[in-house]
Chain A
């Protein structure tokens, strides 16, 4: 596999030095040492003893495991054969490969395929399937990918947004996980997804699965196979990704922290890097320039040589506990901006795949094993690994951001290729986030040749081609995205809208702008907004200070809000809202109570404002989007369908909830009755 180093200029991608190549001559040079005369036991010393012991252990381990493997193979094969004999239907495929390309838009892909820029996708369209894939309401990654993995609508899995309201505190919490305290007083993370992923059902029939980076798979559950969690894996600080920029300024920014870099000597600077929120010592950062060469040292780690403007490789960080507990280990990447006062970017601290402080894979060894598929021996593990906030805040240039995104893509590609080699029967799933992240922040440049978005689609096409080439005769390939993309140039501040229309009131003396809901007078508030598309009623008996009676009053409040939202017009005459859907109408299932009471579907160009996502209130209901995040998918779900491509002809119309039943049917299983989707392979050519 060819690997690449990152450069400020994404067009300059240099082949990385590969360790073996560098060590081979050394190895050859070292061999003649063995021939030197004058044998002496003292010559070798304990180091060589360590070397001999290591080699011996390596050989012993290799031989022992190979023997063990050969010994148990007949029994394991017999057990699997027995389990597979329980498969009720004739399988249509020996192996199903699901290639998830987050955010790949069918409209753009079809256009590029027609232009000849996505030839492998065009070939799939000719011989198999290329279609739209209806997404969930709303078309947001955690919601859609959870529906993908469970085959049910959000009402049955309980994930309706990135964030959910804590109805007691009126504060946003993550919708997918919560921290609970065990009987022994330890904090542990519990998943809130309310339905089983379909790969957990395959094991009972002797079918193994490899699941890589599918969103909302954290914490990873047990399965017959291997899983590496994706979106929603936090960083070591417990956030969804918080970078640090050491430089002249100090302050908190969305998605990042600015901290001062203090001079400690001639061309030397120092600072402290905060780690986990409590109970751990920060690490000292020492930055130094000597004869034009920059190096940084974090904690007790080895110095890292930095080239200005170029992202470093992964640096291992170990935060020591203040209470003699185990250290928290993470990995991060650095980027230096040289100058009289330099600036040092330290990415969010990802859990170290070699010894993560919380489980990110199942089995636990799997995250270690995956390190062998990457050049550097480490890889991105944070859920939202590509640092879009660093780009938007100016901590990284576009070139640096793209380098980061593509190097993460290459890591993932290595894992996926390994999975394809290892799984010969069963399921291999891998989700690539790169197209989503790049479209979010580079949408404005369009998708012409040479643009970041255009490049992303072309590289996804190459990935599709690579995957197709690796397929066997009996393999089914499903290429899919969870949603598409569209414009986001104008913000719709839902809390401001509710405030201006009398549904939300602030305490005396409190006036917008507000960053959260803490200044709200709940005794006079009927509705509030939190998350990317939801409006919640301040319902009596549900919210801690609810005032709206369930039933008629709730219905009339929702009716009034819906009418006003649909009638809302921007100053330029455009209408921001396309649909307002009641949860009771949109969803069915045991978790409907977790959903927002109203789901607001915006038109192209509009999205919930940055303020209102976290419960804040801005200065105007409709205002320009201040960030370069100009591509989005948190709109009316009919505007942002995903893509579906396959090497087989699949039935249509297709929805993302159909993928799980389709995979199960292809492998010869019947989808459980609780699943809402239908198999797309029924009636398909085979």
Chain B
């Protein structure tokens, strides 16, 4: 797992790097839309391929009981019975949705992790205020530091972002931190052990400090960036979820139209 995670992260980073370059110049919303597009397409395909064939029937099964509750609303006994039946059917539906959800969450989470690792809680081209409090001095050196410099995930989990190798050095408690390859988006590997869970693969920025790193105790606060679209203000994560979902839906519709267009070609007799 230790070698697998960085490898997977590098692959994901390599896919997103070109997009991130363009996204960085495109502005917050357009950049976010661009970055979430690969995730949306992959999510859609993963969901489509992993969905059980009887998903519609399961959904209708749950909904038909809800229809029954409306129809029998003046009969509390029937309504309660149908309510339990409806909840059970919903649970059955959710159980059927687990595999496609898990599979679709892979591309989503990979993209999410990459974006978060690159930009923290802010969107492309935006800056966030980073405050670091520590029992010891925390030294951040180098120019061209990309915000946020340091991001905290939990009290014992940190990750770092700097721009470009050789352009600066980062020291925590006087200990120089290896910044890995130094390329944008690459995870930190040297000071931190990797959680042996699938979540580490999904979010490359998460690293849990091991026992030897107890000396570091930093508290980090970030100001979450939020954006207003069509009068609705929401954090970038919400927009990422919305945009990737919209793009996933658009992809499904497009793919369906393409498949249909291919099928409607005049049938040629078999040789």
Interface residues, chain A, with chain B CB atoms under 8 Å away? 19-20, 23-24, 26-27, 30, 33, 36-51, 54-55, 58-59, 61-63, 65-66, 68-70, 72-73, 76, 226, 262-266, 268, 270, 284, 286, 300, 302, 316, 354, 363, 365-366, 368-372, 376-378, 422
Taking the closest CB of chain B, its distance from the CB of A514, in whole angstroms, is 38
Minimum CB distance partner of A303 in chain B: B53
CB-CB < 8 A to A42: which residues of B? Answer: 105, 108-109, 112-113, 116, 199, 202-203
Q: Which residues of B contact A370 (CB under 8 A)?
A: 64
Q: Would A55 and B198 count as touching, CB distance under 8 A? A: no
* Beta-carbon nearest neighbor of A421 in chain B: B78
Residues of B147-202 whose CB lies within 8 A of A: 195, 197-200, 202
User: Can you identify 18 A-B contacts, CB atoms within 8 angstroms?
Assistant: A19-B96, A37-B195, A38-B197, A38-B198, A40-B199, A40-B202, A43-B202, A45-B43, A54-B94, A55-B94, A58-B90, A69-B80, A369-B64, A369-B71, A370-B64, A372-B85, A422-B75, A422-B78
Are the CB atoms of A300 and B267 closer together than 8 Å?
no
**Once the chains bind, are A69 and B241 in contact (CB under 8 Å)?**
no
B62 on interface, CB distance cutoff 8 Å: yes
Report yes or no: A48 in contact with B101, Cβ–Cβ below 8 A: yes
* Minimum CB–CB distance for A13 against chain B, Å: 21
Contact of B123 with A by CB under 8 A? no
Q: Is the CB of A363 within 8 A of B195?
A: no
B54 at the interface (CB under 8 A from A): yes
Query: What residues of B have a CB within 8 angstroms of the CB of A50 in the complex?
Result: 97, 101
- The interface residues of chain A lying within 8 Å CB-to-CB of B70 are 65, 365
B contact residues around A268 at 8 Å (CB) = 270
Chain B count of residues within 8 A CB distance of the other chain: 75
A19-B54, A37-B199, A369-B71 known; 16 new pairs, CB 8 Å cut-off, are: A19-B57, A38-B200, A42-B105, A42-B116, A43-B109, A51-B94, A61-B69, A62-B69, A63-B83, A69-B69, A69-B79, A300-B256, A354-B60, A366-B67, A371-B61, A372-B68
Residues of chain B within 8 A (CB-CB) of A377 are 57-58, 60-61, 64
A36 to B94, CA, bound (A): 19
- Using an 8 Å CB-CB cutoff, how does the interface string of B25-45 with A read, 1 for contact, 0 for none? 000000000000000000100
In the complex, what residue of chain A is closest to B56 when comparing beta carbons?
A: A316
Residues of B within 8 A of A47 (CB): 43, 47, 97, 100-102, 104-105, 108
* CB 8 Å contact bits of B63-96 with A (1 = contact, 0 = none): 1111111111111101110011111101111111
Q: Does chain A have a CB within 8 A of B141?
A: no
**B212 part of interface (Cβ distance < 8 Å):** no
Which 5 pairs across A and B sit closest by C-beta, in order of nearness? A45-B105, A47-B101, A38-B197, A38-B199, A62-B83
* A43 surroundings in chain B (CB, below 8 A): 105, 109, 198-199, 202-203
The reply to whether B206 and A40 contact each other, CB–CB distance below 8 Å, is: yes
The contact of A36 among B66, B88, B198, by CB within 8 Å, is B198
Query: Would you call B214 an interface residue if the criterion is a C-beta within 8 Å of the partner chain's C-beta atoms?
Result: no
Known: A45-B43, A45-B101. A302 touches B53 (CB 8 A): yes
Q: Are A372's CB and B269's CB within 8 A?
A: no
Q: Are B264 and A284 in contact (CB under 8 A)?
A: yes
- Which residues on A sit within 8 Å (CB–CB) of B113? 40, 42
Instruction: Report the bound CA distance from A55 to B97 in whole Å.
Output: 12
User: Would you call B9 an interface residue if the criterion is a C-beta within 8 Å of the partner chain's C-beta atoms?
Assistant: no
CA distance A286 to B262 in the complex (A): 13
Q: Closest A residue to B241 by CB, please name it.
A: A46
Q: A300 contacts B260, CB within 8 Å?
A: yes
Q: Which residues of A contact B104 (CB under 8 A)?
A: 45-47
Q: Does B3 contact A (CB under 8 A)?
A: no
Q: How far is the CA of A264 from the CA of B199 in the complex (A)?
A: 46
Question: How many angstroms between the C-alpha atoms of A55 and B87 in the bound complex?
Answer: 8
Task: Name the A residues within 8 Å of B200 (CB-CB).
Answer: 38
Alpha-carbon separation in the docked complex, A62 to B203 (Å)? 36
A-chain residues with CB within 8 Å of residue B74 when the two chains form the complex: 69, 72-73, 76
Contact assessment for A19 and B92 in the assembled complex, using a CB-CB cutoff below 8 Å: yes
State how many angstroms separate the Cβ of A49 from the closest Cβ of chain B.
7
Query: Contact: A363 with B95, CB < 8 Å?
Result: no
Known: A46-B241, A369-B64. A58 touches B87 (CB 8 A): yes
Please give, as numbers and ranges, the residues of chain A lying within 8 Å of B108 by CB-CB distance: 42, 45-47
Cβ contacts under 8 Å, B102 to chain A: 33, 47
In-complex Cβ contact of A369 among B43, B67, B269 (8 A)? B67
Which residues of the partner chain A approach B198 to less than 8 Å between Cβ atoms? 36, 38, 43
Return chain B residues, CB-CB under 8 Å to A378.
Answer: 57
Contacts of B47 in A (CB 8 A): 47
B62 contacts across to A, CB distance below 8 A: 58
Question: Which residues from B are CB-within-8-Å of A316?
Answer: 56
Q: Report Cα–Cα, A61/B64, bound state, in Å.
A: 13
Contact residues in B for A286 (Cβ distance below 8 Å): 263
- CB-nearest residue of chain A to B61: A377
Q: What residues of chain B lie closer than 8 Å to A40, measured between beta carbons? A: 109, 113, 199, 202-203, 206
Assess whether A264 is in contact with B65, with CB atoms less than 8 Å apart.
no
Bound CA–CA A24/B116 (angstroms): 36
Say whether A59 contacts B96, CB under 8 Å: no
Pick from A48, A55, A263: contact of B269, CB under 8 Å: A263
> A57's closest neighbor in chain B, by CB?
B90
> Is residue B98 within 8 Å, beta carbon to beta carbon, of the partner chain?
yes
Q: Are B60 and A48 in touch, CB under 8 angstroms? A: no
Q: Give the residues in chain A near B79, CB-CB below 8 Å.
A: 65-66, 69
Kindly name the residue among A45, A59, A370 whose own CB sees the greatest number of chain B CB atoms within 10 A: A45
- Give the residues in chain B near A266, CB-CB below 8 Å: 270
With beta carbons under 8 angstroms apart, the residue of B64, B83, B99, B259 that contacts A65 is B83
Residues in A whose Cβ lies below 8 Å from that of B71? 226, 363, 365-366, 369
With a cutoff of 8 Å between Cβ atoms, the chain A residues found around residue B105 in the complex are 42-45, 47-48
Taking a contact as CB atoms under 8 Å apart, the answer to whether A365 and B67 are in contact is yes
Please report the C-alpha to C-alpha distance between residue A259 and residue B52 in the assembled complex, in whole angstroms.
32
In the assembly, what is the distance between CA of A264 and CA of B65, in Å?
Answer: 43
CA distance A544 to B79 in the complex (A): 57
Contacts A42-B116, A70-B76 given; indicate if A372 touches B263 (C-beta within 8 A): no
Query: Whole-angstrom distance between the alpha carbons of A50 and B104 in the complex?
Result: 12
Residues of A within 8 A of B202 (CB): 40, 42-43
Q: Which residue of B lies closest to A79 (CB)?
A: B74
CB B52 to nearest CB in A, in angstroms, measures 9
The reply to whether B66 and A270 contact each other, CB–CB distance below 8 Å, is: no
Give A68 to B70 CA distance when docked, in angstroms.
10
- Residues of A near B93 (CB, < 8 A) are 54
Cβ–Cβ < 8 Å partners of B256 in chain A: 300
Q: How far is the CA of A302 from the CA of B69 in the complex (A)?
A: 30
Residues of A within 8 A of B197 (CB): 36-38
